[in-house]
Structure 1
């Protein structure tokens, strides 16, 4: 079981993560929605496509843009469709 934790709280856990460029992408249904907050941030990867972001909110603290996903990944990254990855001090293990 791989878990994503931030601020002492498990944000996601799954036996079915996909690792791309060292990042674990969790199935969307393995991520606790109550900890996600919409963000307007976007970015672009030449081979994966356009990413969208969520901030995390746990115990009243916010970790801006700490989760990202590709709503419509390019064909080369099709395996991460419907999955979420984390960074910015989120512990994966």
Structure 2
């Protein structure tokens, strides 16, 4: 699967390596082009997943605020709920297309 903005691939990994949580695909950290993400100061804590780290996606001068996120240290109960450790896996939203 791929996460794409325009013609730029931000993340790419086999579907079996991704984790689906609440309708969002989370990509393994090693599959994400980190140079296209900038940490955002936007705070958020999910009641069951833990403290979230948002990212601004920066592709060819187009900055998409908070369109990517991860959970660097998810709650143990969240990992149990998902059934797999999703630490630092990255999900995308809105203008970032996730395709097969």
TM-score by length of 1: 0.92
Distance 2:50 2:93 in 1: 18
Q: Which consecutive unaligned segments of at least 5 residues does structure 2 have?
A: 80-84
Match of residue 91 from structure 1: 97
Match of residue 46 from structure 1: 47
Distance 2:48 2:26 in 1: 16
**Contact in 1 for aligned 2:29/2:88 (Cα 8 Å):** yes
Match of residue 68 from structure 2: 67
Superposition CA RMSD, Å: 1.1
Report the count of equivalent residues.
92
Q: Which consecutive unaligned segments of at least 5 residues does structure 1 have?
A: none
Q: Deviation string for 1:35-87 (max 9, x for gaps)?
A: 11121112111111110111011111100011100111011332211211110
**Contact in 1 for aligned 2:39/2:53 (Cα 8 Å):** no
Distance 1:49 1:82 in 2: 12
- 1:80 pairs, out of 82, 86, 89, with 86
Q: Deviation string for 1:9-51 (max 9, x for gaps)?
A: 1100011100000111101110001211121112111111110
Match of residue 32 from structure 1: 33
Structure 1 residue ranges, 4+ long, deviating more than 6 angstroms after superposition? none
Distance 1:91 1:29 in 2: 19
